[in-house]
Amino acid sequence: MHVQVEHSGLLKCWLAEFILSFSCTCYVFAITRLLSIFNDGDAVPRSTIDDEYANAPEKDPKILLTTSRNPSAPLTQFVKELKIVFPNAQRMNRGGQVISEIIETCRSHDFTDVILVHENRGVPDGIVISHLPFGPTAYFGLLNVVTRHDIKDKKSMGTMSEAYPHLIFDKFSTKLGERTVNILKHLFPVPKPDTKRILTFANQSDYISFRHHVYEKHGGPKSIELKEVGPRFELRLYQIKLGTMDQDEAQIEWVIKPYMNTSKKRTLLGD
């Protein structure tokens, strides 16, 4: 099991197989371990391919969040919730603006990333993450979206926190998996060590499950109450290019191809 816990030196965490089942009991165990393994001497190895993020530690991310044109009510609700997921995000009604105009405006106002969410027949079905000023841009399919608004058991839900979250990445052991982690983790600023908000990106068979939780300690380290906050969804990476989303001529770094999966099952992001 390959687990990365990003920020605040949280780079060593031995977790039970909790992420794929999203068991509350196992999450409590994971958080207990997470709280006890601060080691500020650790550092995340940086690949040479991630030079686009060399200046990322110098400032917090500043994200513009927008949609495809004429968004439906479900897409609008989902993007409102994503605004809370990503600290320092600003939501913009796109109107008639074309992508090149949006990118240019964001560059001139020192945004670090643009996130575009699109839909098909009223169902959110894709997210594009474009790092500024020069890329990369990652394209994800979006599946099984459940907004906070749609979760029926309101009593068991946690309060939507705006604190900077800790991040857990599970099973991103390949070079492509590490590249994906670097794109995602740089959307979030460094949290305080005592932050009680956790975002999980768990890879299983190249589908990335996202979950959002808060926890409370009611005494000792074993008395932890965990609550899901929402939203929840799955991501499927299908392309990374080296430029921004408005650059059609940008070099394709990686793209999924149907024949990649042979009779012997291959996982692209990690095991």
Q: Over the stretch 10-63, which tens digit does the pLDDT of each residue have?
A: 433 433 344 444 444 445 555 555 554 433 333 344 454 557 898 888 889 999
* Beta strands, E only, 205-250: 207-217, 224-228, 232-241
Contacts with 63 (C-beta within 8 Å, 6 or more apart), sequence order: 86, 88, 89, 90, 111, 112, 113, 114, 115, 187
CATH no. for 3-260: 3.40.50.10480
Give the model's pLDDT for residue 231.
94
SS3 content of the chain, % helix, strand, coil (to 5): 25, 30, 45
Question: What's the pLDDT tens digit per position in 184-226?
Answer: 999 999 999 989 999 999 999 999 999 999 988 877 666 788 8
pLDDT of residue 11: 34
pLDDT mean over 158-167: 88
Where exactly are the structural domains of the chain?
A: 3-260
* pTM recorded for the entire structure: 0.82
User: E-strand spans in the chain?
Assistant: 3-6, 63-67, 89-91, 113-120, 123-131, 137-146, 166-170, 197-204, 207-217, 224-228, 232-241, 252-255
Percentage above 90 pLDDT, the chain = 61
Say which residue, 5 or 158, is predicted with more confidence.
158
Helix (H) or strand (E) run with residue 100 in it? helix 99-108
